[in-house]
Amino acid sequence: MVLVRKNAKSRLGWRVESVFKIGLHKKDLALLKQIQAYFGGIGSIAKQGKEDMYAYRVSSLRQMLSHILPHFDLYPLITQKRGDYLLWREVVLIMKSGEHLSMKGLQAIVNIRASINLGLSEDLKTAFPDTVPVLRPIMDKNDRIIPHPEWVAGFTTGEGCFLIKILNLSKSRTGYQIVTVFKLTQHSRDEQLIRSLIDYLECGKVYVHGTVVDYIVTKLTDITDKIVPLFRESSIKGVKFLDFLAFVSVVELMNNKNHLTVKGVNQIKEIKASMNANRTEYFDIEDN
């Protein structure tokens, strides 16, 4: 993020702040602590807005130059957020040079800010009427190549989910049909990247709904032979790992045909009832 806010103590009347932030549900507070430790303990973690959300935040210019930029330069983002990063990086370097303390430099930052995330607020548009948004970096197909399974695991940690669907089916002996679902969701601007998962994982389908694009795998053999082995080898982090383990237990029950019995369906119902939004069990930082 790039924050441009009024400040009476500043010579220009404005204060610029560059911020790197990751927000997660409180159940993944331990994961935020791991991320902070990975970056050498810099930054801070605090509650964010809603009571159940926490954010890891780095706003020190020195720390961003020493830790954040080197990391994302070495491990580039491959979603469209990479464009936001490259623009944000320009602002950090402008601040490093001290140019943000001049009106010319401040306007240059506002021009960049206009092309990051959701653009300028109405107040900033009014305060800086000469703003000309810079062009966003263009991400070509070479910028959207999935690099390795660990990337998929990290992406799933943030954007994926493991679902168990229990559908009424009168023709079934138990009265139910069980469906296991692996799902990744992203803004439609990253549709090409999401579609590349079909080739990379050799399974699944893509569905577009307005501004949302979903990658979905439901075929049990694909779940068993491709999805489960992938995440056993390249581990998901945080509380979602617990959902993965629960998901695997249902897959195993289904492969053993237990879902075709009333007892098996009841077991699956119990597992489903403790997953995702219903989960009350969290990780300590050492667990994952």
In a shared domain, residues 150 and 273: yes
CATH classification at residue 224: 3.10.28.10
Same domain, residue pair 253 and 190: yes
Query: What pLDDT shows up at residue 55?
Result: 94
pLDDT for position 16:
95
Q: Does residue 37 form part of some domain?
A: no
Confidence grade of residue 285 (pLDDT, cut at 50, 70, 90): very low
134 in a structural domain:
no
Burial classification of residue 74, based on how many CB atoms lie within 10 Å of its CB (0-12 exposed, 13-18 middle, 19 or more buried): exposed
Residues 202 and 264 in one domain: yes
- Nearest-10 Cα torsion for 195, 196, 197, 201: 130
For the stretch 214-246, pLDDT in tens is: 999 999 999 999 999 999 999 999 889 999 999
Q: Which of 81-95, 142-156, 268-282 shows the lowest per-residue confidence on average (mean pLDDT)?
A: 268-282
**For range 28-54, the mean pLDDT:** 92
Alpha carbon distance 36, 56 (integer Å):
7
Coil vs helix vs strand at 155: helix
My answer on whether 211 and 100 are in the same domain is: no
For residue 59, what are its two tokens? 């706003």
Q: How many residues does the chain have?
A: 288
- Tokens 């994926």 locate to 160
| 6 in a structural domain | yes
Q: Span 78-96, mean pLDDT?
A: 93
Q: What percent of the chain has pLDDT over 70?
A: 95
pLDDT of 286 higher than 90: no
Domain enclosing residue 231, as ranges: 146-278
Mean of the pLDDT values across residues 15-37?
93
* Domain shared by 165 and 216, yes or no: yes
In sequence order, which ranges of the chain are alpha helices (DSSP H)?
Answer: 29-38, 61-63, 69-74, 81-97, 103-113, 122-127, 149-159, 191-201, 220-222, 228-233, 240-255, 262-273
- pLDDT above 90 for 139: no
Residue 117 in this model has a pLDDT that exceeds 90: no
Instruction: Looking at the structure, tell me whether residues 123 and 153 fall in a common domain.
Output: no
Contact 285, 30 (CB under 8 A): yes
Residue 93 lies in a domain: yes
- Residues 153, 264, single domain; the answer is yes
Q: Is residue 141 part of a domain?
A: no
104: tokens are 């010319």
Q: Let me know if 246 is exposed, middle or buried by CB neighbors in 10 A (0-12, 13-18, 19+).
A: buried
Q: Which of 4-8, 204-208, 278-282 has the highest mean pLDDT?
A: 204-208
Do residue 99 and residue 8 come from a single domain?
Answer: yes
Residue that finishes a domain, picked among 127, 157, 187: 127
Asked whether residue 73 falls in the same domain as residue 155, the answer is no
- Asked if 252 and 157 sit in the same domain, the reply is yes
Cβ neighbours for 228, distance < 8 A, ≥ 6 positions apart: 248, 251
Task: Give the pLDDT of residue 21.
Answer: 96
* Domains held by the chain: number: 2
pLDDT at 279: 66
Residue 77 lies in a domain: yes
Q: What is the pLDDT of residue 281?
A: 62
